[in-house]
Amino acid sequence: MHRTTTGFPINLLAGACLMAGASANAAAVAATLESPQNLTDETQVTQGSVNVLGRVLLYRAEAGVLVVHVKDPMDEDVPPPREDKAAPPQPPQASMSYVAYFKGDKADSRRPITFLFNGGPGSSTLWLHMGAFGPRRVITADDTHTPASPYRLIDNEYTLLSVSDLVFVDAPGTGFGHLRGTDKEKAFFGVDQDAHAFANFIVAFLSRHDRWNSPKYLFAESYGSTRAAALAHILDEEKSIDLNGILLIGQIFNYDNNADAPQINPGVEFPYALVLPSYAASAWYHHKLPVQPPALEPFLRDVESFALNEYLPALVAGSTLSAERRSAIAGKLHEFTGLAVDYIERSNLRVNVGQFAQNLRNPDATVGRLDSRSSGPAMDVLSKEADYDPQAASITSAYVATFNDYVRGTLKFGAGKTYKTSTDVEKTWDFQHQPPGASSKVSGWVNVMPDLAAVMKRNPNFKIQLNNGYYDLATPYFSALYELRQLQIPAALQANIETHFYTSGHMIYAHEPDLKALHANAAAFIEKTHSARQ
């Protein structure tokens, strides 16, 4: 979904070291070049300031990498020498890159600290960093393609540094991080493996920065929400860390509800019903409905009711659905999506996200999966499904270019290193998960709802904030809402969950009015959930 970028080629930097009159600078650059043998911790601290609503906020920025292990290396015996003189197997380890921001010029251990991460899996966290809550943010077009560089990087008056210290963490194998050791991908590329790596990172970070007694939060986007649920349970049960709360953007806990390819999981009909309100919102935005309702949200309440009370039972009926009822359902789907009745019937009343994105405006354009307000020319107007995501194509270059420029120029970190925007983990990722109470990993689609429910029961003060865009087809808002309503928790704990919905897509912050609202909601959540304990 996100492209990988590269930094300065090492051979060019090495060549520069030979240039006459530049020996001191060359030595400094050479010292930063990555070693293929060893992973080590690195940090670089700089000072900065940001204008927030007319007030200057001073901060310290720390960019670096922190090495995490599957097991504490101090608990392992030194392996005996091998008779064949070969080196013993190296235990797996990962260097995880991060950028942390601390308000003021000295540490405040009572201030909230929030760990933020994107998802993928296999995505770095430059999106939340440069688009939402860091002290600087990139300006991109709202629902059209962002022009090529130069891009604008401005003070972010909506930075969450106003209420919490921030740690933007890149997943293992992304960012400036690397993997080493025997079976390194197996050790870190998986639902549970990845969550444990983040847990170990957080424990190490809290210790190194004396933040054990700070109010603690996770802020996660997309697959990051899956990670956050599993991570919260690991922190609670294995590390004895009670979080004050988690904040989510584009939530997905149960992959049975994913509407990207539900056709490969026949008999599970929920994805089609739960994505329908997002289809309706998209058709409303593009004026593709046969009758255009005057307001979005009242229209969506009607679609939500139809989705669960009429559409889902019709899908569950399968081959027993009568021809008359089938025709009536197809007619309502046309009314709510703008897709042709004939197309809906030929699709057996079941349209996945790729089909919808390709056909809503075909042959004019393909609409975005991450944000269906965006659109672009179809790669092939005869394709069954969309071949690319216009929203991702619109903004990725802006984020990648500005982060690489910012981290090297302003934060003074990354010379001679490559920043990996993403890593392709599709073929190696272990999607099996061991939920609470299970003796082993469970086969099938990932579902971390039991993890989150267990955390809420063990820590009744734990709070959740969901933020979702109406135009998000990747993680539909109604699916997220359904999952939260199905958590196996006492009724009283439902009051610990708050939800907010926005007229934007997956990346809510790409729409500035919604970024403003998102900041207000997130800041209020953090302030009320830590001040209550003081």
Enumerate residues 6+ apart whose C-beta is below 8 A from 348: none
In DSSP terms, which residues pair with 40 in a beta bridge? none
153 vs 402: CA distance, rounded Å: 7
For the cut 90, the answer to whether the pLDDT of residue 472 exceeds it is yes
Model confidence over 214-224: pLDDT tens digits? 999 999 999 99
In DSSP terms, which residues pair with 442 in a beta bridge? 433
Question: What are the φ and ψ backbone dihedral angles of 147, each rounded to 5 degrees?
Answer: -60, 155
In three-state secondary structure terms, 96 is: strand
Residue entry with tokens 């997905």: 252
- Class of CATH domain 10-256+394-531: alpha beta
526 vs 245: CA distance, rounded Å: 8
424 vs 46: CA distance, rounded Å: 32
For the cut 60, the answer to whether the pLDDT of residue 3 exceeds it is no
280 vs 323: CA distance, rounded Å: 24
Distance of CA 186 to the CA centre of its chain: 21
For the cut 90, the answer to whether the pLDDT of residue 14 exceeds it is no
| Cα separation values, 65 from 98, 99, 245, Å | 6, 9, 25
For the cut 80, the answer to whether the pLDDT of residue 395 exceeds it is yes
For the cut 90, the answer to whether the pLDDT of residue 364 exceeds it is no
Question: pTM of the prediction?
Answer: 0.91
Q: pLDDT over 90 for what percent of the chain?
A: 81
Mean pLDDT of 358-383: 92
Mean pLDDT of 362-369: 91
Mean pLDDT of 145-174: 95
Distance of CA 172 to the CA centre of its chain: 14
* In contact, 85 and 214? CB cutoff 8 Å: no
Domain ranges of the chain: 10-256+394-531
Confidence of residue 80 (pLDDT cuts 50, 70, 90): confident
Model confidence over 94-136: pLDDT tens digits? 999 999 999 998 889 999 999 999 999 999 999 999 999 999 9
| Cα separation values, 280 from 1, 91, 284, 289, 337, Å | 24, 51, 6, 8, 5
For the cut 80, the answer to whether the pLDDT of residue 25 exceeds it is no
What is the per-residue pLDDT for 532? 52
CB 306: neighbour CB atoms within 10 A? 20
Enumerate residues 6+ apart whose C-beta is below 8 A from 491: none
DSSP string, 101-150: EEESSS--TTS-EEEEE--TTTB-SHHHIIIIISSEEE---SSSPPPPSS
Preceding peptide of 450 cis, ω within 30°: no
Among 249-253, 295-299, 360-364, 478-482, whose mean pLDDT is lowest?
A: 360-364
Mean pLDDT of 300-325: 98
Enumerate residues 6+ apart whose C-beta is below 8 A from 473: 259, 275, 278, 279, 282, 353, 356, 357, 368, 369, 370, 372, 505, 506
Mean pLDDT of 184-198: 97
Enumerate residues 6+ apart whose C-beta is below 8 A from 346: none
Nearest to 484 by CA among 471, 503, 473, 499: 499
80 vs 96: CA distance, rounded Å: 29
Element (H, E) at 304: helix 296-306
Higher pLDDT, 85 or 403: 403
Higher pLDDT, 371 or 18: 371
For the cut 70, the answer to whether the pLDDT of residue 56 exceeds it is yes
Residue 299, token pair as written in the block:
């229209």
What is the per-residue pLDDT for 310? 98
Torsion angle of the four alpha carbons 429, 430, 435, 437, in this order, in degrees rounded to the nearest 10: -160
Enumerate residues 6+ apart whose C-beta is below 8 A from 86: none
Instruction: Identify the burial level of 181 via C-beta atoms within 10 angstroms of its C-beta, where 0-12 means exposed, 13-18 middle and 19 or more buried.
Output: middle
